[in-house]
Amino acid sequence: MRCGLWTGVLLLSATAALAQDAPPEIRQFDIATIEALGREMYEQDQYVWHATDALMAIHPAAEMQQQKIHGWIVAEGPTGNRVRYIRDGANGPEAAFDIGIAAGKWDISEPRDRTLNDAEMAQYRARILALSKVARPCSDRYNTVVLHDPEGDNWLVWALASSTTPKTWFIGGNYRFTISKDGNSILRTDALSRGCLTMTEPPTQPDKKLAAQFSVQLVSKLPLETGVFISLQTEVPMIVAMPDRAMWAIAGGKAFKLDEKLPEPPAK
């Protein structure tokens, strides 16, 4: 399903949807945690994206394929985070390249010791496990973001639907997994939407600027961290209608409730 921006038809269909659906139980965080997770997701995604561009500028796709590189993790180190690209080694997954920032520039190296430590291996397993458990995929391409669970020692892994169509992005189709510390077990699966909703930016007009993207969320009583992430990624504020018809705005990494509500559906 593709959704327009600020159209009367969308508002009417949103009202009908809210009248028929109640939110299922998903793991819920408070607004401060939602905002923090969304910002951390965005920062990790941007870091990995630019690191990948730097790596591909030196090692083209054909070489990466030849080395059987098939994933990455974000490793924590004494000098800051680095992206470790993973390949198949003789004894299992191992580090192929490390990319970090040194003196304001991308530093790309091949590690002398390619062995993944316990935490790195757990993160790698958690990513692979999450991607294998997307029950109803909305795209043939999914990206992952992995963060430490703010409420324990486990992992939070997001499987995020990705579009190859220019200026189009997924609002729906995303999943959040709570995965055990060792990366071996899924403790909870949260589908963060009911369908495969996408947004497409309309053609540029000299006298107009895109004000916001509008969507309806039926899976929780509060906005989601994916909304914060998407708004930061697209640089477009988001207006979200909730199951109780409350309207929330997401902009600049913050989520706040608006005074307005969607109207009640007409009586039958």
The region of weakest confidence among 51-55, 75-79, 104-108, 162-166 is 75-79
The three-state secondary structure class of 235 is coil
Mean pLDDT of 159-186: 94
The region of weakest confidence among 68-82, 212-226, 238-252 is 68-82
Dihedral angle sign, alpha carbons of residues 163, 168, 173, 178: positive
Q: Are strands 198-200 and 2-3 parallel, antiparallel or unpaired?
A: parallel
CA distance 42 to 225: 10
Output the average pLDDT for the chain.
87
Q: Quick check: 176 and 192 in contact, CB under 8 A?
A: yes
Give the predicted TM-score (pTM) of the model. Answer: 0.87
**pLDDT at position 233:** 94
CA distance 47 to 31: 24
Could you identify the residue written with the tokens 């054909």? Answer: 62
* Residue of 20 and 133 predicted with greater confidence: 133
